[in-house]
């Protein structure tokens, strides 16, 4: 019985050690109109999301964009909204105007190689 238990434990450890470790990477995106712009942290600007052929993706709705990202392995983590402008006081013929933009944070599990490649791009950006 002890041999069977030991064999089972050894087999389980072998399976655990053989599993590839995954890492979680993060990105940010904004959705405007029918377009989704994304930033992987490798550039200062948000860039349009494109498919493998390099064509810009367009979506019927925000939930459609989220469903697409989910199908690609991304998970919505949270959001932040930045408001700019003035909301108070009378100015000319109208009250103050404001605008807002919501940035969404997403994450995805990737292999160690993919995570290291992304990290190298981020470090290059910082060094330049």
- Residues 6 or more apart from 26 whose CB is under 8 A from it? 41, 77, 105, 106, 107
Query: Could you give the percent of the chain with pLDDT greater than 70?
Result: 70
pLDDT in tens, 14-66: 555 555 678 888 899 999 888 999 998 878 889 999 988 999 999 999 999 99
| Residue-level pLDDT at 37 | 93
Residue 91, pLDDT > 70, answer no
Going by C-alpha positions, the residue among 100, 99, 105 that lies closest to residue 79 is 105
Residue 92 confidence class, pLDDT cut points 50, 70, 90: low
């Amino acid at each position: 019985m002890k041999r069977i238990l030991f064999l089972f434990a050894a087999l389980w450890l072998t399976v655990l050690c053989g599993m590839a470790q995954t890492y979680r990477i993060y990105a940010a995106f904004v959705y405007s109109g029918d377009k989704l712009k994304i930033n992987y942290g490798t550039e200062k600007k948000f860039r349009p999301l494109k498919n493998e052929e390099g064509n810009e993706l367009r979506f019927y709705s925000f939930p459609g964009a989220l469903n697409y990202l989910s199908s690609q392995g991304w998970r919505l983590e949270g959001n932040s909204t930045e408001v700019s402008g003035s909301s108070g006081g009378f100015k000319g013929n109208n009250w103050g105007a404001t605008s807002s933009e919501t940035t969404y944070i997403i994450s995805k599990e990737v292999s160690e190689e993919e995570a290291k490649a992304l990290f190298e791009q981020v470090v290059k950006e910082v060094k330049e």
